[in-house]
Amino acid sequence: MGTYVNPGNEGFRDIVSGEYVDKTGLIALVNGVIGTPRKLVCSTRPRRFGKTFAAESLVAYYSCGCDSRALFERLEISRDESFERHLNAYNVVRLDMTEFRGAGDVAEEVKRVILRELREELPSAGAGNEGHTNEITSALTDFVDATERRFVFVIDEWDAPLRERRSKSSQEDWVYFLRLLFKNMTFTAKAIAACYMTGILPIVRYGTQSAHSDFREYTFLRPYAYAPFVGLTEAEVEGLAKRHHMDMEELRRWYDGYELSYVDKTVNERLVVRTYAPFSVISACDNGEVGPYWTSSEAFESLRLYVDMDFDGLQQAIVQAVGGAAIRVDTGTFENDLHDVQSADDVLTLLCHLGYLAYDAVMQPHAYPTKKCAPS
């Protein structure tokens, strides 16, 4: 059991010992893509919308470095037919990219810590390839051969190195490192059972080419089947309100910010999920009163850079959106890069991904961001 390779389940144990809302149905979705062409998943959403809780549940469930049966046996996933088959059955690499903020070269530091832990268990991992580009893939392959278990990668805040003002070369090295792991068809097929990445921004693009075209993207704008696991649902918030003797109408007025639409293939119907920011709702329940918890956890100075950009009609459009108007925007121009914003459309799309504006996908092909239903 290591910190990055085959970690334990302490993170998820701490989560379920507190005010935990059962979102383990997400695990069944990931189980359904393991070992298939759809096994690379990138699910993005704004900060404070449960990304880390989701990642920790996946680590605890898949890692062969621990026994998590007792943690999951009373949760929703235990009733799924796939539960036994995948429980603690894989080598896992867990990366929280916010931990590498101080690294000069993120890709090299990530490679170093993974190799160190692989070689603590298997000293010969990657032997003969030291210093070569394929050193990490060689070591992972050797580990799979020795353990007879493929890897599940769980990468939390995958875009943290791209959101910071690092050098362009450092950012590109991180993207290249991910390509090395997940676009090498021979290696990926042999060594990777699945990858689940989460963050705020969709997968970065250079020009019109996605840096990771093999990933299936589930964004805040289009979450598809992952919609029920983005934030808290109406029923889940009602349960919290009842347990904590909170006024549901007041919680709804403050925190019912979004409606997410998706097709439920089990009933072949389009469903709408009303979603709430978990951080805000749980903070209100803990404190016994509502408040602007989500907005107060972010420095608005970081937004001023974008709002003050001198693009034609941008500030007027933001004022109209905050006032409840529907504003036409082309979301296809945004390159998913915080530091390469070229137009008003880019800024409006970015504000949707960050959670400050909502996006009405039902009105496609015309893309309209709209005012959030309530403050959060």
Q: Are 258 and 373 in contact (CB under 8 A)?
A: yes
Distance (Å, whole) CA 236 – CA 29? 19
Distance (Å, whole) CA 372 – CA 358? 5
Q: Is residue 148 part of a domain?
A: yes
Per-residue confidence band for 188, with pLDDT thresholds at 50, 70 and 90:
very high
Residues 253 and 335 in one domain: no
Q: Is residue 272 part of a domain?
A: yes
Which of 188, 208, 225 is the endpoint of a domain? 225
Q: What is the pLDDT of residues 192-250, one digit of tens each?
A: 999 999 998 888 665 445 556 689 999 888 899 999 999 999 999 999 999 999 999 99
Predicted pLDDT at 268: 85
Q: What is the pTM of this model?
A: 0.85
More confident residue, 37 or 365: 37
Residues 33 and 166 in one domain: yes
**Tokens representing residue 109 in the block:** 């530091």
Distance (Å, whole) CA 291 – CA 135? 50
Residues 267 and 288 in one domain: yes
Residues 38 and 69 in one domain: yes
Q: CB neighbours of 146 closer than 8 A, spacing ≥ 6?
A: 122, 125
Distance (Å, whole) CA 233 – CA 219? 17
Q: Is residue 147 part of a domain?
A: yes
Residues 305 and 292 in one domain: no
Distance (Å, whole) CA 195 – CA 40? 5
Predicted pLDDT at 329: 82
Strand ranges (E), the chain: 40-44, 91-96, 151-156, 192-199, 205-206, 209-210, 216-218, 232-233, 256-264, 269-276, 358-360, 368-370
Mean pLDDT score, 77-94? 98
Q: What is the pLDDT of residues 239-278, one digit of tens each?
A: 999 999 999 999 998 887 788 888 888 888 888 888 898 9
Distance (Å, whole) CA 180 – CA 234? 41
Distance (Å, whole) CA 87 – CA 64? 8
Per-residue confidence band for 8, with pLDDT thresholds at 50, 70 and 90:
very high
Q: Which domain holds residue 269?
A: 232-296
Q: Is residue 3 part of a domain?
A: no
What interhelical angle do 135-147 and 168-182 show, nearest 10? Answer: 30
Q: Are 31 and 96 in contact (CB under 8 A)?
A: no
Per-residue confidence band for 62, with pLDDT thresholds at 50, 70 and 90:
very high
Q: Is residue 375 part of a domain?
A: no
Predicted pLDDT at 365: 44
Q: In DSSP terms, which residues pair with 370 in a beta bridge?
A: 358
Residues 199 and 246 in one domain: no
Predicted pLDDT at 144: 98
Predicted pLDDT at 312: 77
Give alpha helix (H) positions in 291-338. Answer: 293-296, 301-307, 314-322
Q: What is the pLDDT of residues 293-315, one digit of tens each?
A: 876 655 555 667 777 776 878 88
Q: CB neighbours of 278 closer than 8 A, spacing ≥ 6?
A: 21, 48, 49, 50, 53, 231, 232
**Tokens representing residue 65 in the block:** 């470095």
Q: Are 36 and 54 in contact (CB under 8 A)?
A: no
Predicted pLDDT at 296: 64
Which of 274, 296, 318 is the endpoint of a domain? 296
Q: Residue 81, SS3?
A: coil
Q: Is residue 330 part of a domain?
A: yes
Predicted pLDDT at 75: 97
Residues 37 and 175 in one domain: yes
Q: What is the pLDDT of residues 322-374, one digit of tens each?
A: 777 888 888 777 777 776 788 888 888 878 777 777 777 665 444 434 334 43
Predicted pLDDT at 165: 61
Residues 167 and 98 in one domain: yes
For residue 50, pLDDT over 70 is answered with yes
Q: Is residue 250 part of a domain?
A: yes
Predicted pLDDT at 210: 58
How many other CB atoms are found less than 10 A from the CB of residue 20?
A: 15
Residues 57 and 145 in one domain: yes
8-state DSSP, 187 = H
Average pLDDT of the residues of the chain:
86
Residues 246 and 220 in one domain: no
Q: Is residue 354 part of a domain?
A: yes
Q: Are 161 and 97 in contact (CB under 8 A)?
A: yes
For residue 43, pLDDT over 70 is answered with yes
More confident residue, 339 or 75: 75
Predicted pLDDT at 163: 79
Q: Structural domain tally of the chain?
A: 3
Residues 59 and 135 in one domain: yes
Q: Are 68 and 162 in contact (CB under 8 A)?
A: no
Residues 325 and 189 in one domain: no
Which of 280, 296, 312 is the endpoint of a domain? 296
Q: What is the pLDDT of residues 112-131, one digit of tens each?
A: 999 999 999 999 999 888 88
CATH code where residue 125 lies: 3.40.50
